[in-house]
Structure 1
Amino acid sequence: MAKYLLLKHYRGAPEPVNNVPMDQWSPDEITAHIDYMNAFADKLKTTGEFVDGQALAQEGAWVRYDGEGRPPVTDGPFAETKDLIAGWMVIDVDSYERAVELAGELSAAPGKDGKPIHEWLEVRPFYGTPPTITE
């Protein structure tokens, strides 16, 4: 088994096929999207492939070490930027191919008008975990 991070970008590049910003979705469309994500996680819990996942708020800050003991803090990232990390899921699967298969399924989450958003998800193995690509 190998752990992978499925990183969910909001309006990332390359752009999703059904790229209607979430602030233009109805409350029912947002609920349907969240329900899909929760059902997906529940399915992976039954197979033992789900480790953890969270949605992230739009608010945030940039912080870095300044060498003087008090790190500078800058507002951001902001939702109007081209790319915002919207959430993540950690999975523990038998192969890279399985991680890609699950990311593809997660990409089909519904958006505006109930249509799949076809968003791109970043699939990354955890550091120190060699990918198990079997081409």
Structure 2
Amino acid sequence: MAKYLLLKHYRGAPAAVNDVPMEKWTPEEISAHVQYMEDFAARLEGTGEFVDGQALSPEGLWVRYDGEGRPPVTDGPFPETKDLIAGWMVIDVDSQERAVELAGELSAAPGAGGQPIHEWLEVRPFLGAPPTITE
């Protein structure tokens, strides 16, 4: 088994096949989208492939170490950005092929008009332990 991060990007500018920005969806369309995601996670819990997942607020901060006490903090990212990390899901699957298969299903979450949004999801394997040398 290997863990993968499915990183869900929200693009305010049209980037998916169903290119209606989320801020223009009806409350029912948003509810249907969220329900799809919850049902997807529940199904993966049943197969033992779901580890964790969260939606993220569009508000955030940038922080970096500057070597001088308290790190500088800058507001952002801002909701009007064209690309925002909207959430993530961690899965534990047998292969990269299975991770890609599940990401494809998650990309079909409904959007405006109930049509699949065909959004791009970033699929990233967790870094494994470095190889050990035994002699």
| TM-score, structure 2 as length reference | 0.92
Q: Where does residue 29 of structure 2 map in the other structure?
A: 29
Query: How many percent of aligned residue pairs carry the same amino acid?
Result: 80
The runs of at least 4 aligned residues of structure 1 exceeding 3 Å deviation read: none
**1:63 maps onto 2:63 in alignment:** yes
2:34 aligned counterpart, secondary structure:
helix
Q: Where do 5+ consecutive residues of structure 1 fail to align?
A: 131-135
Check the 8 A contact 2:10/2:84 in 1, yes or no.
yes
Please, which moves more after superposition, 55-64 or 11-20? 11-20
Q: Where does residue 100 of structure 1 map in the other structure?
A: 100
Please, which moves more after superposition, 120-129 or 6-15? 6-15
Q: Where does residue 86 of structure 2 map in the other structure?
A: 86
Deviation at 1:57, TM superposition (A): 0.3
Instruction: Trace 1:3-82 onto structure 2 (pairs within 5 A).
Output: 3-11=3-11, 15-82=15-82
| Corresponding pairs, count | 130
Q: Where do 5+ consecutive residues of structure 2 fail to align?
A: 131-135
Deviation at 1:13, TM superposition (A): 9.1
- Aligned CA RMSD, in angstroms, stands at 1.7
Taking a change above 3 Å as real, the CA distance of residues 129 and 22 of structure 1, as seen in their structure-2 partners, is farther
| TM-score, structure 1 as length reference | 0.92
1:36 aligned counterpart, secondary structure:
helix
Which of 1 and 2 has greater Rg? 2
1:124 aligned counterpart, secondary structure:
strand
Check the 8 A contact 1:11/1:19 in 2, yes or no.
no
